[in-house]
Amino acid sequence: MMKEISVKLVALAEERNKFHFRNMVVENRDEFTKSRETSSLLTLPELIGRNQDKEKIIKVLLEAALERDELVSVLSIWSMDKVNYIDDDLPDGGPVRGFPSLEVLTMKNLSSLKGLSRQEGKELFPLLRRMEIENFDGNEEAICFPEEVLRNLTLLKSLDICQFTKLKSFPNGLAHLKALNSLYISHCHKLKSLPEEGLRGLESLQCLSIRYCEEFSSLSKGLQHLVCLESLVIFGCPKLVALPEGIKHLKSLQRLEMGGYSAMSLVPCAVLVALPETLQHVPALRYLFISSYPTLISLPDWLGNLTTLQSLIISCCLKISSLPASIQRLTELRSLLIFNCGPELARRCEKGKGKDWHKIAQIPQVDVDAPTKPKGYNGNTMAASSEVVAASVQMHCWRKLVGCSGGLKINRLA
């Protein structure tokens, strides 16, 4: 084998000599090209935008996307204080015809935004599938979500709304989003509930996530109309301590996550003393995650009524000291994970000799962890520990809010 390799190497050397190549030593250089903050994937000079460059930005965008019929699939706009509508007129007075191929729209720090289009009924984004709206704190009047933004989005499937700290209510216009299957609301600290009529029309919604909304206290009776809902996440909403009776009508609901963190301090909020009784009537629940309710003193006997449950996770509920006998009725339960719920519960669930072990011995996966308090322990330590636990079992998709300068970015379809 080595002989054959040697013959081939000699042959390659002879071929190289025919081209009269020279051996050269090149000094290593650490070079890199730094991209600018705001860029465009257009086949045009790089597009850098600031608030004062609004007219130039719109002109470049529309020349590329409309006049040359380039297919824009992704549009991101941020920190442009003078934008009232996405279809503002061109600098030369010509109208914006629309974005016929746009699928993803991200808007951030648009403090003056009133709507997508000045013209009522205009279908500006006929193929829009995903919309993200973030950080409208600069708008002093933004206590109600602008209903105009939700019009004529007939194909919208995903809507993310984040950091409207003054927002108090959503419009009933939510009901127009017939194709919506994912609604994510985060860091809207003044928001108290969702509109009943608005939820009534979300007949395709599969995932509803409400995180870190400190004043949020009610899911409203409209929840019962979400007949396709599969996943419900309520995290960091300390005033929400009850679930509406209508939850029993959610025959598709398989996943429920509830956590009592405070959005500002990440300290668990002591507000829930018992799990909402309406929870026992969810007919198809498979995954239940309960976290950071330090005043929750026990798990209810009716827990055994959740006969479809396959995974139960309990984290940072320090006053729970035992498991109910009814947990033995959960014959479909495959995984029981308990983290940071105090040493007494850990002792009772110790394999083979704990007082509660016989209640859970039949479960294939049991993991009970009650670590001792580290030196310098405080409430923040416990909250941070639970965050790590949640991430480790892949239960949450934490959102990073990255600040950047104002501008606009557009991508084209391949």
The verdict on residue 30 lying in a domain is no
Quick one: what percent of the chain has pLDDT higher than 90?
32
Over residues 156-190, the pLDDT tens digits come to 999 999 988 778 888 888 888 999 999 999 988 88
- The answer on 220 and 266 residing in a single domain is yes
Looking at residues 282-287, what average pLDDT do you find?
95
- The answer on 92 and 222 residing in a single domain is yes
- The answer on 317 and 217 residing in a single domain is no
pLDDT band at 338 (very low <50, low <70, confident <90, very high): very high
Which phi and psi (to 5°) does residue 278 adopt?
-65, -20
- The answer on 337 and 204 residing in a single domain is no
pLDDT at 95 over 70: no
The verdict on residue 382 lying in a domain is no
Instruction: State CA 147 to chain mean position distance.
Output: 22
Looking at residues 139-156, what average pLDDT do you find?
71
Q: Where is the domain boundary, 272, 305, 336?
A: 272
- The answer on 339 and 265 residing in a single domain is no
The verdict on residue 327 lying in a domain is yes
The verdict on residue 2 lying in a domain is no
- The answer on 111 and 184 residing in a single domain is yes
pLDDT at 216 over 80: yes
Q: What is the pLDDT of residue 273?
A: 85
- The answer on 200 and 313 residing in a single domain is no
pLDDT band at 267 (very low <50, low <70, confident <90, very high): very low
- Residue-number span of the structural domain to which 332 is assigned: 296-372
Structurally, the chain folds into a number of domains equal to 2
Q: What is the pLDDT of residue 295?
A: 87
- The answer on 107 and 253 residing in a single domain is yes
- The answer on 329 and 230 residing in a single domain is no
The verdict on residue 310 lying in a domain is yes
Looking at residues 41-48, what average pLDDT do you find?
40
pLDDT band at 13 (very low <50, low <70, confident <90, very high): low
The verdict on residue 54 lying in a domain is no
Tokens of 181: 């299957």
- The answer on 122 and 81 residing in a single domain is yes
pLDDT at 206 over 90: yes
The verdict on residue 94 lying in a domain is yes
pLDDT band at 330 (very low <50, low <70, confident <90, very high): very high
Q: Which CATH number belongs to the domain containing residue 240 in this structure? A: 3.80.10.10
Most confident among 17-21, 57-61, 273-277 (mean pLDDT): 273-277
The verdict on residue 215 lying in a domain is yes
pTM equals 0.73
Q: What is the pLDDT of residue 226?
A: 94
- The answer on 307 and 220 residing in a single domain is no
pLDDT band at 123 (very low <50, low <70, confident <90, very high): confident
pLDDT band at 250 (very low <50, low <70, confident <90, very high): very high
Q: Where is the domain boundary, 272, 305, 321?
A: 272
Please give the residue that has the higher pLDDT: either 63 or 25: 63
- The answer on 210 and 100 residing in a single domain is yes
Q: What is the pLDDT of residue 334?
A: 96
**How many other CB atoms are there within 10 angstroms of residue 290's CB atom?**
23
Over residues 60-93, the pLDDT tens digits come to 555 555 554 456 688 887 777 777 777 664 444 4
Please give the residue that has the higher pLDDT: either 368 or 4: 368
